[in-house]
Amino acid sequence: MGNLNYKHFTLGVEEEYMVMDPQTYELKSHEQKIVTEGHKLIKDKIKAEMHQAVVEVGTDICADIDEAWHDVANLRKTVSEVAGDLGYYLGASGTHPFSHWESQLITDHIRYSQIVNELQEAARSNLIFGLHVHVGMEDRKMAIHIANSARYFLPHVYALSVNSPFWEGRTTGYKSYRTKIFDKFPRTGIPDFFESMEAYESYVNLLIKTNCIDNAKKVWWDLRVHPFFNTVEFRICDVPMTVEETIAITALFQAICAKLYKLRSQNLNFNMYHRSLINENKWRASRYGIDGDLIDFGKEQEVNTRVLIAELLDFTDDVLDHLGSRHAIAYVNRILEQGTGADRQLAVYHQTQSLTAVTDYIHKQFLV
């Protein structure tokens, strides 16, 4: 398989962080000061989000996982220092454990005003923090093929990323409550299968023509062919608590794409499953994380999620050396041993009965 070109599986990673008051650990508006100061150091790799207590960063286009690792670690360190100098704490969690969205300010920007005007309370309450991973593709035709097949694996990787067990001071019973909040938006969740890139584009054009959306960026699915770049963008995951978790998950998404590309090059296809079936697994992953069962649709039976993740690691194993990502994906086993972000948040809460202690723990893990 040495003749396959794995070079185009470039990576881009976007993370959303919580901005907090160091005394109370409440979410706090930074009035875009972190973005303004951050611009001086990392230019447009930092930007504002809809809520003023959120900061978003994005890497450069990275040739491989090591470049991505360096970039993510550097962004976290830089933004953390900028925030610290301005008197703020940062943390990475899919939801803040106890802050209420009602008291959070919306960023003054025409795009956000339009979204709030259209989506109202669903937009105002959308105080969540995600991870987006872009994997480069040789062309958009290949991108739609890989996106169709990769949908099946979304719940498996999502289960590893779950990091939002609390909402507004309550234990939600979910390992990832973030997606429950985002479900209130239109055009979210697991996407449908598209026969071709033309079919996808005609879907988007119909929505634009009928004033449902003004551009394809308002298709907020868990996975999409990016509207402007030749990338498949994975959007299902909670923002992971640590750099190493982010990198392991990024490497896994890249490996899934490379493996599906390899199969396609051998004229082999991965089974396509209906959105409604994959949604069953997504729900299980959000509720139980890595400690439940997912459905193996091939066998038509429930299988322990950890077993299925081990099978996914086996499935992608033969592309890791081409990608140079074996060391990064090895951390998936650490997540299975020590628990997801949600598991660790819940463990701190059970020990301390304090959501402030949980939030302090999240902050201290930010640069790990």
Asked whether residue 205 is domain-assigned, the answer is yes
* Closest C-alpha to 245, from 101, 94, 113, 31: 94
Q: Look-up: residue for tokens 């999502």? A: 158
Distance CA 101, CA 103 (A): 5
Determine the pLDDT at residue 177: 98
The percentage of residues in the chain with a pLDDT greater than 90, rounded to a whole number, is: 86
Running DSSP on this structure, what letter comes out for residue 290?
Answer: G
Dump pLDDT digits (tens) for 270-290: 888 999 999 999 999 999 999
Determine the pLDDT at residue 134: 98
Asked whether residue 23 is domain-assigned, the answer is yes
CA 166 to mean position of chain CA atoms: 18
Asked whether residue 211 is domain-assigned, the answer is yes
Determine the pLDDT at residue 101: 87
**Residue 36: pLDDT over 80:** yes
Band (pLDDT 50/70/90 cuts) for residue 117 is: confident
**Residue 302: pLDDT over 60:** yes
Which pairs with CB-CB distance under 8 Å and at least 24 residues apart come from 197-202?
197/140, 197/141, 197/143, 197/144, 197/225, 200/144, 200/225
**Residue 251: pLDDT over 50:** yes
Q: What is the mean pLDDT of the chain?
A: 95
Dump pLDDT digits (tens) for 19-35: 999 999 999 999 899 99
Q: How many domains would you assign to the chain?
A: 1
Asked whether residue 6 is domain-assigned, the answer is no
Asked whether residue 1 is domain-assigned, the answer is no
**Residue 1: pLDDT over 80:** no
Token readout for 123 is 């937009």
Q: Strands (DSSP E) along 175-315, which ranges?
A: 223-225, 231-234, 293-296, 301-304
Exposure class string for 114-140: b at 16+ Cβ within 10 A, else e: ebbeeeeebbbbbbbbbbbbbbbbeeb
DSSP 44-111: GGEEE-SBTTEEEEE---BSSHHHHHHHHHHHHHHHHHHHHHTT-EEE--SS-SS--GGGPPBP--HH
- Read off the pLDDT of each residue in 213-222 and give the average, rounded to a whole number: 93
Using a 10 angstrom Cβ sphere, with 0-12 exposed, 13-18 middle and 19 or more buried, the burial of residue 347 is middle
- Read off the pLDDT of each residue in 257-281 and give the average, rounded to a whole number: 93
Band (pLDDT 50/70/90 cuts) for residue 122 is: confident
Asked whether residue 154 is domain-assigned, the answer is yes
* Closest C-alpha to 260, from 154, 147, 155: 147
Determine the pLDDT at residue 3: 61
Neighbours of 103 (CB within 10 A): 11
Determine the pLDDT at residue 2: 46
Dump pLDDT digits (tens) for 142-194: 999 999 999 999 999 999 999 999 999 999 999 999 999 999 889 999 999 99
Asked whether residue 2 is domain-assigned, the answer is no
Specify the CATH number for the domain of residue 194: 3.30.590.20
The amino acid present at 199, given as its one-letter code, is: A
Asked whether residue 276 is domain-assigned, the answer is yes
Domain housing 268: 11-364
- Left if phi > 0, otherwise alpha if psi is -120 to 50, otherwise beta: which for 62? beta
